[in-house]
Amino acid sequence: MYKGQPLTDITQRFPCSAGFSIVEVLVSVMVLTIGMLGMVGMQASSLQANRDARLQSIAAFQARELADLMRGNPTESSKTLSNPYFVSTSSKPLKHTNPDYCLNVAATTACTNPINVANAQMTEWLARVDDELPGARVVVCMDSVPFDASGLATWSCTAGAGASMVIKIGWSRASTNKSLTGSQALDRATVPSIVFPV
């Protein structure tokens, strides 16, 4: 109460004391909802990108591991024909053409020569790749042209002049074309995701 002023009607003393209307509240709720939906979409995209990065890291690690195994067995990995490390498989589960289990802890017979070692290494390596990468496909070969004219990796191997041994790994992942639905929304290793020279 002011000095010397009589107490009058409250609306005369505070003329701007009206509250928010229901329309203003609904508009603010709608704006907030649109913002939240955008955040949810970004969260889903970041989870997908995180998964792709993790699988890419696993594939790079597996390719590096196989390259080290091959370097440790030079008598077999240096062959250009009948090389036990050469493989081309996409069947589920991934299997080596000449499986050997002589490196297994429960093996009844030990590895007796470098070919046995190479076959056992590939048997175990393919099992790990199959376990860690969904819908994995693997090609190990001599290749002089691992990329096509547009710069995309190819599954085919061309053993021409200057060919070197490469490890190609691919797996099923979500397509970058977001308009596709159902089974078409998956890219089933149409191109290698990793091309690792040995």
Q: Which two tokens stand for residue 140?
A: 């190990």
Residue type, 9: D
Which pLDDT tens digit goes with each residue over 44-103? 888 888 999 999 999 999 999 999 999 999 999 998 888 999 999 888 889 899 999 999
CB contact burial 100-109 (16+ within 10 A = b; e otherwise) = bbbeeeeeee
Give the per-residue pLDDT at 16.
57
Collapsing DSSP to helix, strand or coil, 21 comes out as: coil
pTM of the model: 0.76
Beta-strand relationship, 194-197 and 186-188: unpaired
Beta-strand relationship, 137-143 and 164-170: antiparallel
Classify residue 147 by its DSSP letter: B
DSSP string, 76-129: HHT-SSS-TT-EEE-SSS---SS---TTSTT-SS---SHHHHHHHHHHHHHHHH
Q: Which two tokens stand for residue 1?
A: 């109460």
How far is 71 from 78, CA to CA, in rounded Å?
9
Give the per-residue pLDDT at 58.
96
Which pLDDT tens digit goes with each residue over 153-166? 999 998 878 889 99
Collapsing DSSP to helix, strand or coil, 50 comes out as: helix
Taking the CA atoms of 138, 144, 147 and 149 in sequence, report the sign of the dihedral they define: negative
Percent of the chain with pLDDT over 70: 89
The confidence band for 189, taking pLDDT boundaries of 50, 70 and 90, is confident
